[in-house]
Chain A
Amino acid sequence: MKKFLNKPENFVNEMIEGIIAAHPNKLKYVNDDLRCLVNAKGKEGKVGLATGGGSGHLPLFLGYVGDGMLDGCSVGGVFQSPSADQMLEVTKEIDKGAGVLYIYGNYGGDIMNFDMAAEMADMEDIKVLQVVAGEDVASSKKGEEHKRRGVAGIFFVFKIAGACADDMASLEDVKRVADKVCANVRTMGVALSPCIVPEVGKPSFTIAEGQMEIGMGIHGEPGIEKGPLKPADEVVETMLNAILEDLPYKKGDEVAVLMNGLGATPKEELYVMYRKVSLMLENKGISVFHVYAGEYATSMEMAGASISLLKLDDELKNYLAKPANSPFFEQVQL
């Protein structure tokens, strides 16, 4: 293992200290707990948006706390859920009278703790609704979408729900829009090398030299196709076809695309892949409203990429286009 560390057990807290030191006007923590992060400036009367999840995925999750995006994030250890109590503390801080919406990925530990936090918030008379994102096509078959893991596509849920809440929409309305994003986003990933949890010190799974694993999850969950690494165009074809087959797409549809690097894959390669995505979409008569390319949801130093497609309608497009400003994501009006 070659990593920039002091002590592995301090990895998460020292990362957060660094982030706060770099963005003191944007982020702060509450309840004397570094792992309870909130936007430094709250907006009265706005629906609060909270997420949370394990560390090791930056910019996911805390990197999207900012204007026009999320209001708070509870931060767990590497690949571990934060506690219900940390979620509750964030909830209390970001509730500005209009209720709080939880948006998080479909993982057992996170679900249990967010459910618990919602119940505790209810006892403190804070209204909480929840949206669980799960869009990894490889993680469960069609018809069992509720079992799918949440991966990079959750970025679109944060962005759009964030803009909707910023527009001062009601809690129910923000949830409706967030649910609509979840229903229309699909992701497919491919991994080329494993990742190392600092406190473990060695990879917890292996991908042999010259091999790839299509559909591998962002914690190394098994994928659907293991084999020799193929040319980029063929890899993209397999991935994008799986995405397009999963939703009804027709000529004239409009999408936003997220080309996401998993940690060790350079942007150059993401654009080599996007070249093929663009050709395939053009062939099918699907137009592209906007492309995001870079690291949006990583898995430590894993090499690999994911492709997410969000099918747009006017409402989603309007919110996606709005400006946003967080430590890890900035966008001007599109």
Chain B
Amino acid sequence: MENLSLDNIKGFLTKMNGVAAANKDYLIDLDSRMGDGDLGLTMAAVFSAMDEFASTYSEDDIGGMLMKGGMAMAKAAPSTMGTLMATGFMRGGKAVKGSTSLGISDVAAFWTAFVEGIIDRGKAKAGEKTIIDALLPAAEAWQEGASDGADMVSAGVLAAKAAAEGLEKTMDMVAQHGRAAYYQEKSRELQDPGATIGSILISSFSEYLSEIDG
């Protein structure tokens, strides 16, 4: 597969809506250990809003759809993680604005701008036990795939692997942000809910690429 069409991206967003809904209780449970437990609800709300927006989007600009979908997400769930996820889509969409199809370098640019937007908005960096720890290695994997001229599906598999490894590493980090930061050392062995949703997002994208390939 060389390029993703607008309909492919819409298909992925529909899949992601289902994935977020299916993981709602899991994320609530994970978040309740250190946060306020609303992450599962937030993610279900934002991806539902994105899917709803995308399914009625009638223009042909993939970037524009993702940007405006990001704004719809921000309206749907005004919590920290909702705002961060919305920012990711707004910035990622901006990076591929005007594209009617996405090649591997566009996908790499999307994920890179996505995570950079979250870094910028959340004033956090790698190693602080956040969603960034899953997304940044994945964006780097996409960049490598693009510069190696890799196949989209195999690059996606490597990105999913990088995100899962990044998530794994958060289990040896101390939280620096949000309510979890109050727990300091106690936060160390717990899996970060933000990085979990980051890894789920990246792996769902990879799965979707495999599903539509052949």
Binding site for B on A (CB under 8 A): 83-86, 108-109, 111-113, 115-116, 119-120, 123
Contact = CB atoms under 8 A, between A and B. Distances in A.
B206 interface: no
B115 interface: no
Contacts of A119: 87, 90
Contacts of A111: 123
A115 B121 CA distance: 7
B122 A112 contact: yes
Interface stretch (B70-78, B98-106, B126-134): B70-78
Contacts of A112: 80, 83, 121-123
A123 B122 contact: no
A86 B75 CA distance: 9
Contact of A84 (B67, B68, B78, B122): B78
Given A115-B121, A120-B71, A109 B87 contact: no
Given A123-B67, A123-B71, A84 B83 contact: yes
Contact of A116 (B67, B68, B87, B123): B87
Contact of B83 (A86, A116, A123): A116
B86 interface: yes
Contacts of B121: 112, 115-116
- Which residue, B67, B74, B90, has most C-beta atoms of chain A within 10 A? B74
Given A84-B74, A85-B74, A116-B74, 10 more contacts: A83-B74, A83-B78, A83-B83, A84-B78, A108-B123, A109-B80, A111-B123, A112-B83, A120-B90, A123-B71
B67 A113 contact: no
B67 A85 contact: no
26 contacts: A83-B78, A83-B83, A84-B74, A84-B78, A84-B83, A85-B74, A85-B75, A85-B78, A86-B78, A108-B123, A109-B80, A111-B123, A112-B80, A112-B121, A113-B78, A113-B83, A115-B121, A116-B83, A116-B86, A116-B87, A119-B90, A120-B71, A120-B74, A123-B67, A123-B68, A123-B71
B211 to A, nearest CB: 32
Contacts of B123: 108, 111-112
Contacts, number: 35
B75 to A, nearest CB: 5
Nearest to A119: B90
* Interface majority SS (helix, strand, loop, mixed), chain B: helix
A148 to B, nearest CB: 16
A113 B83 CA distance: 8
B194 to A, nearest CB: 14
A34 to B, nearest CB: 15
Interface string B110-139: 000000000001110000000000000000
A120 B87 CA distance: 10
| Chain B interface extent, by class | 10 to 19
A120 to B, nearest CB: 6
Interface in B58-93: 67-68, 71, 74-75, 78, 80, 83, 86-87, 90
State the 6 A-B residue pairs at the shortest beta-carbon distance, nearest first.
A83-B78, A85-B75, A116-B83, A84-B74, A120-B71, A85-B74
A301 B78 CA distance: 28
A113 B90 CA distance: 14
A113 B123 CA distance: 12
A109 B80 CA distance: 8
Contacts of A123: 67-68, 71, 90
Contacts of A108: 123
Contacts of B68: 123
A18 B22 CA distance: 42
A112 B120 CA distance: 9
A23 B71 CA distance: 33
A113 B87 CA distance: 11
Contacts of A109: 80
A291 B91 CA distance: 47
- Which residue, B75, B83, B87, B122, has most C-beta atoms of chain A within 10 A? B83
A84 B71 CA distance: 10
Contacts of A85: 74-75, 78
Nearest to A81: B78
Contacts of B87: 116, 119
Nearest to B77: A83
A76 B90 CA distance: 24
A67 to B, nearest CB: 30
Nearest to A108: B123
B128 to A, nearest CB: 14
Nearest to A113: B83
Nearest to A116: B83
Contacts of B75: 85
Contacts of A113: 78, 83
Nearest to A83: B78
Nearest to B122: A112
Nearest to B86: A116
Contacts of A115: 121
